[in-house]
């Protein structure tokens, strides 16, 4: 299975009952044979441009592991799901992820040196 980053923009009117559309998104992923590694709700944010006459959306970011055929299945289902305004499903760049981790380690070392 391959790692992916999934960002989903959920309809802003569903903010009060956000767990219902999130459960639907989770179900779509697990039904396609995937597993959710982590999930982060970024909250309601203003969109750069309106989507379906909406100016705001609830952003939810997920790290997921999916089998080879799952991205197409997930895309097909998200395209007809009313709760999802937009989504972005991209493969994880392992080199980029390692570079970020190394940069964080170097930054923490530099912070420790400044304190001494």
Q: How far apart are CA 45 and CA 52, in angstroms?
A: 15
Side-chain-side CA neighbours of residue 109 (13 Å): 6
pLDDT band at 111 (very low <50, low <70, confident <90, very high): low
Residue recorded with tokens 């909406």: 54
**Assigned token pair, 111:** 């912070």
Inter-residue contact 83 to 14 (CB < 8 Å): yes
List of residues 6+ apart from 23 with CB closer than 8 A: none
Just give the CATH number of 2-115: 3.30.70.60
pLDDT tens track for 15-71:
888 999 999 999 999 999 999 999 999 999 999 999 999 999 999 999 999 999 999
pLDDT band at 113 (very low <50, low <70, confident <90, very high): low
List of residues 6+ apart from 104 with CB closer than 8 A: none
- Count CB neighbours of 22 within 10 A: 19
pLDDT tens track for 77-104:
999 988 999 999 999 887 877 887 888 8
Q: How far apart are CA 58 and CA 85, in angstroms?
A: 9
Q: Where are the domains of the chain?
A: 2-115
Taking the complete model, does pTM exceed 0.95, yes or no? no
Q: What is the pLDDT of residue 116?
A: 55
């Amino acid at each position: 299975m391959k790692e992916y980053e999934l960002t989903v923009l959920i309809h802003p009117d569903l903010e009060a009952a956000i767990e219902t559309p999130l459960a639907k998104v989770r179900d779509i992923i697990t039904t396609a044979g995937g597993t959710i590694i982590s999930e982060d709700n970024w909250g309601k944010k203003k969109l750069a441009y309106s989507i379906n006459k909406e100016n705001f959306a609830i952003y939810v970011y997920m790290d997921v592991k999916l089998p080879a055929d799952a991205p197409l299945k997930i895309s097909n289902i998200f395209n007809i799901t009313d709760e999802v305004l937009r989504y972005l499903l991209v493969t994880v760049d392992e080199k980029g992820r390692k570079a970020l981790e190394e940069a964080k380690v170097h930054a923490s070392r530099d912070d420790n040196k400044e304190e001494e």
